[in-house]
Each structure stands twice: as C-alpha cells, then as structure tokens.
Structure 1
C-alpha cells in the first residue's frame, strides 16, 4: 500500500484526494446521503464515481474522498453491495484497508512532532480527530 501511495503522489505531485481523483478520471459528486452514510464509490458504464455526503465538515469530506479513492485503487472490481447481499461476506477488511489508505495518503510526508498528541497532529494536517483509532494499523 505504501508503494502505491508513493507512486500516486510522485506521479501527480499531490496527496490531495480530490486532485488525485480528478487526475484518475473519477467523478466526484456531493449529495445528501442521510445520517448513516458518509460516502460511497461505484462504477457505472465504465465510469467511476465517488459520492460524498454534502453536509460533512471539510476534513471529513477529504477523508471520505481518500477512503473511497482507496477502494478504487485497492479493490478494483469489488462491489461492496454484492458482497453484503449475495455472498454474506463482511466487507470489514476492505473498509479497514480503505481507512488505512486514506490515513496514509493524507498524512504522507508528515509525522507528529515530538510530544505532539494524535489529536493535535490530526488537527494540524486536516484530519478528523475521530480517526485516531487507525494510527496503530
């Protein structure tokens, strides 16, 4: 995963998930997804889409975009809804991988300062502090 992220950043000269998505030809849409869904990724007629809940704070929009970009890069051809409804396979592992991808992408090139808390570090680099549980993955 680190190699993939470094290759993307090197090729496109950014770790911004919105810029990377655009460069990769992924369409981003912002709509109201209700209270239970922050975002989703899907393919339709060879076009790729990331849909982000439009009422999320900016740091969550960035994280969700990076998470869904992780699905595009790591889980090509995997349809989460098919997995849940037809195979009864829990997509938990895929979600954890996409979360780690997002965290690594958005924190690329940075690290916490000595004695800096995770909360302060995430605030400094524009990540939701709620993702602190991912730092050990």
Structure 2
C-alpha cells in the first residue's frame, strides 16, 4: 500500500512540474502580434522557455492556410492554398514536418485552455516570413513574403 501511494505521489509531482513549466494561464506573459504592421486579434503566450506560442487555427488561418485537425493523433496539418507548403505538428511532440522534412522544435505544441498552441516563429519562418521579437515592448512583428497572404 505504501509503495503504491509513493508511486502515485511521484507521478503527480512529475506531472505538475511538466504542466506548469510549459504553461500556466494566469502567469504566462502575453505579447501583441503584428503581421505586416497590422495588429492581430489574438496574442502570443510566452512559454517559460521564452518561445512565443499561439493558437494553431488562428495563426494558420491568418496565413491563409487550410487547416485540418486529427483528434485521435492530436495532429494539426496546415497547407498553403496552392499546396506548396504543408506543415504538420502534434501535441507534445518535439518533431514537426514541413513538406515531409522533419525539424526539431525548441518548444513542443501543447494543450492549454482546450486549445493547441504552436511555436509562432517556427510556423512563420516555415512559410518564409521574417520574425522580430521586441521583448521590452512584448510585441512580435512578422513580415510575410510576397507569396503569402498580404
């Protein structure tokens, strides 16, 4: 009995460390996002790792990409309108795919408030955008390439 209780306490402790080290809604910093100098209606959450994370659907739709969600595998797939760029990300998976090529993420996509959050810089740079983070102003400025939504 004591052994089972010990294991349960250890599991709960480890779970609480991982869930709060990535994201805590009440304590996370929020940054304004500007795309081609236009302020977006949603903010980025700055994870404790320092990475700006955004709701997947909002950012992909902002970039005029088609979005699909597989609830079984917790995977989001986004495709440019012409199909030239396909991005795949999965919840809590450090590997992302752009056009079938794998990339290691500095921050895994995570679920917060029943929304999957993804790495803003990775998504933006995958479509050829330039990203500038103004840390003191808590603002992120993204310049889209001419081929992306303007």
State the TM bucket, normalised to the shorter chain.
under 0.3
- Report which of the two has the higher share of strand: 2
- Report which of the two has the higher share of helix: 1
TM-score if structure 1 supplies the norm length? 0.27
